[in-house]
Amino acid sequence: MSDTSTNGLSRRDLLKTSGQLAAASVFASAALPGAFAAENNTIQIALIGCGGRGTGAASNALSTKSGPVKLVAMADVFNDRLSTSYNGIKQRFDAQVDVPDDRKFIGFDAYKQAMDALKPGDVVILTTPPVFRWVHFTYAISKGLNVFMEKPTAVDGPTSRKMLELAAESVKKNLKVGVGLMCRHCKSRGELFNRIKAGELGDLILLRAYRIAGPTGSAAVGPKPAGMSELQYQIRNFHGFLWLSGGGFSDFLIHNIDECCWMKDAFPVEAKGHGGRHFRGDNIDQNFDTYNTEYTFADGTKMYLAGRTMPGCHQEFATFVHGTKGSAVVSQSGHHPSKARIYKGQKFVKEDLVWDCPKPELDPYQLEWDELIEAIRTDKPYNEAERGTKSSLVTAMGRMACHTGQIVTYEDMLNCEHDLAPNADKLTLDGPSPLMADANGKYPVPQPGINTKREF
């Protein structure tokens, strides 16, 4: 899509010439009434998906310092979530929020209305459950919008293929696309990666990742309350349902998987794993309580991933790499701070410490936005859509291996025809869900060894 207006000035030109009155007058005449602030280099933001992550992403966008940014439209399927998000953002960033009631949109088509409030070169934040990512990304590309989208960007083979095609199209149109794998923007992890590439650890021979904690997000879901539709209930508890999010495995474990792929500078080609449902009580979601997955890279290197969401157990949120010359901590305190460091042996003992990352560490949630907005203003190539989708795909590969009890390859996952939500672009608020409960209010769950070609 062309980035040039009928007046002959591109959006990027305008972002680069904030001090020119001529550009200001041209931009004012081209703008929709009330759509742009007076500053001609203002980047407008629309938020689609107003939960906690969307609210956080919008706050990071408004906290960037490279030039004026305004939130001008919001969309969600639930009015209460939009209102809560709006009030929280407005309280913190009053002067940067211009979202009157007629730019607050509710419903499954609300994403179109919110994006229609923007101009080419503005930014749309896509933070709904992942099932809708390809639907919204398609429309954003058609509108010439830059994009920030949360991870995972796809949850199965069919949506992965769609997202890879859309990623290529967005690159052709020179759109800037950020994906919420914010650890890739961590300076400490980045320096560790550079040191690994320089040979300080020798050849990597093993990677280990852990996210073992108590119940997380909405991964453990109790019975549906009376008076609420299946669809609304599931969307409000989207971590519990594979069609919406890929479940807790895809939504939470992807960060550890992705930072391992970064350190290895490759994506695994095969996965096998196991897990199970243990202490479920009256929970009726589709998740396992434990996951253990062995990934294999093309050169034979192994990556082991452990996930658990059970109370009362040992907890650990960390990633480690081991090489022929030493070992390293990639992260040991969740997402931030990373506490990255290198040891000359394999014991992680103080006397073997070789390098420790500088303190304090900058927040990668903010850094990813600083870099995206800077790329938009300076028109630098910046597109994480393909990489984000490949990370989402290998995450789904490990999930499917655990849920089916089979060895699953990268190609198996990419070419898998089980579309968890084939009509994601046609859902309506009062319509049925792609997943329906049985007469007892229970949903199908993975049965490894019984269902071997699909997850349920």
Q: Smallest Cα–Cα separation from 208: which of 294, 271, 310, 326? A: 294
Residue 157 has a pLDDT of: 98
Task: Provide, rounded to the nearest whole percent, the portion of the chain with pLDDT above 70.
Answer: 91
CA distances (Å), origin 4, targets 64, 326, 420? 26, 53, 39
Single-letter code of the amino acid located at 233: Y
pLDDT at 27 over 90: no
**Domains in the chain: ranges and CATH:** 11-183+368-383 (3.40.50.720), 186-361+392-426 (3.30.360.10)
Task: Of 4-13, 172-181, 429-438, give the lowest mean pLDDT range.
Answer: 4-13
Q: Does the pLDDT of residue 117 top 60, yes or no?
A: yes
Indicate the pLDDT class of residue 430, thresholds 50, 70 and 90. Answer: confident
Q: Tell me how far apart the alpha carbons of residues 245 and 2 are, in angstroms, rounded to a whole number.
A: 33
User: Is residue 226 predicted with pLDDT exceeding 80?
Assistant: yes
pLDDT, residue 352, reads 98
Interval 57-95: pLDDT, tens:
999 999 999 999 999 999 999 999 999 999 999 999 999
CA 86 to CA 158: how far, in whole Å? 34
pLDDT the model gives residue 372: 98
The yes-or-no verdict on residue 104 having pLDDT over 80 is yes
Are residues 70 and 31 in contact, defined by beta-carbon separation less than 8 angstroms? no
Name the more confident of 2 and 286: 286
- pLDDT-derived band of residue 429, with 50, 70 and 90 as boundaries? confident
What average pLDDT does the segment 47-52 reach?
A: 97
pLDDT beyond 90 at 15: no
At how many degrees (to 10) do helices 385-404 and 157-172 cross? 170
Picking from 12-26, 60-74, 334-348, which range would have the lowest pLDDT averaged per residue?
A: 12-26
What pLDDT, on the 0 to 100 scale, is given for residue 24? 34
Q: Which sign does the torsion angle of CA 373, 374, 378, 381 carry? A: negative
Neighbour order of strands in the sheet with 123-126: 104-106, 69-76, 43-48, 123-126, 146-149, 177-179
Long-range CB pairs of 114-117 (<8 Å, 24+ gap) are 114/46, 114/47, 114/48, 114/73, 114/74, 114/75, 115/46, 115/48, 115/73, 115/139, 115/140, 115/143, 115/145, 116/143, 117/32, 117/35, 117/44, 117/46, 117/72, 117/73
Q: Specify the range with the lowest mean pLDDT, choosing from 167-176, 362-371, 432-441.
A: 432-441
Q: Is the pLDDT of residue 1 over 60?
A: no
Q: Sorting pLDDT into bands at 50, 70 and 90, what band is 31?
A: very low
Alpha helices in 215-363 (DSSP H): 230-236, 242-245, 247-264
Task: Tell me the chain's radius of gyration from C-alpha atoms.
Answer: 22
Question: Mean of the pLDDT values across residues 14-43?
Answer: 43
Q: What does pLDDT average to over the chain?
A: 92
Q: Which amino acid is at 421?
A: A
Selected residue with higher pLDDT from 164 and 279? 164
d(CA 166, CA 214): 36
Q: Which residues make Cβ contacts (< 8 Å) with residue 301, sequence separation at least 6? A: 204, 205, 206, 207, 264
pLDDT at 37: 37
pLDDT value of position 36: 32
> pLDDT value at position 2?
37
Q: How far apart are the first and last CA of the chain?
A: 40
User: What does the pLDDT read at residue 12?
Assistant: 42
What is the structure's pLDDT at 30?
35
pLDDT confidence of 113, banded at 50, 70, 90?
very high
**Position 4 pLDDT exceeds 60:** no
Q: Give kind and range of the element (H or E) at residue 193.
A: helix 187-197
